[in-house]
Homo-oligomer: A and B are copies of this chain.
């Protein structure tokens, strides 16, 4: 069998991108394979040729994008920065992604919610990586007294992800006029104020 042609890979990507757009616009349930195929400009059956099922397609979108996020988070966590700066960088990355690829971010956040409903969000491999990395990060910060008093490092990852989701969805979907800078500084306030770097 010949190696996957560039054409083939391009087709796959086109379908994946189309899927992101349609899932973001309509949500999982209301999305029809026919919509994705049309949006991608390919035949109906080709979606199944590449992805096997609607759920598998959504899983792929979810996996690939959370994997990217997990890598970013892990990279930042491994870098040589203060805990506060690490969190700031992660937040900036998330907020910037939301501005640059709103549909992509929307899908993975909303699908995160859908999985939460099924008890399959925090157990998802890449999500779990993010949570674990953040937890370690916050535990280190706690040990150095860098957390706000009362903030519990084991709870913070879930709070952070929830706050991020809520805020981004509010901005993207509900068109709530929240400023990225305000969002960043608000969430950052969960970390200790002692290291009050100039926010802007």
Contact = CB atoms under 8 A, between A and B. Distances in A.
A31 B53 CA distance: 21
Contact of A158 (B118, B123, B156, B178): B178
A193 B155 contact: no
A75 interface: no
Nearest to A175: B119
Given A148-B193, A170-B158, A183-B155, A117 B122 contact: no
- The count of identical subunits is 4
Interface string A150-169: 11101110110111111101
A131 B88 CA distance: 26
A89 interface: no
A189 B150 contact: yes
Size bin of chain A's contact surface: 35 or more
B173 A159 contact: no
A170 B166 CA distance: 15
Contact of A161 (B166, B175, B178): B166
A152 B177 CA distance: 13
Interface string A43-73: 0000000000000000000000000000000
Interface in A124-149: 147-149
A167 B155 contact: yes
Nearest to A1: B43
Interface of A: 27, 29, 110, 113-114, 116-123, 147-152, 154-156, 158-159, 161-167, 169-170, 173-176, 178-179, 182-183, 185-190, 193, 196, 199
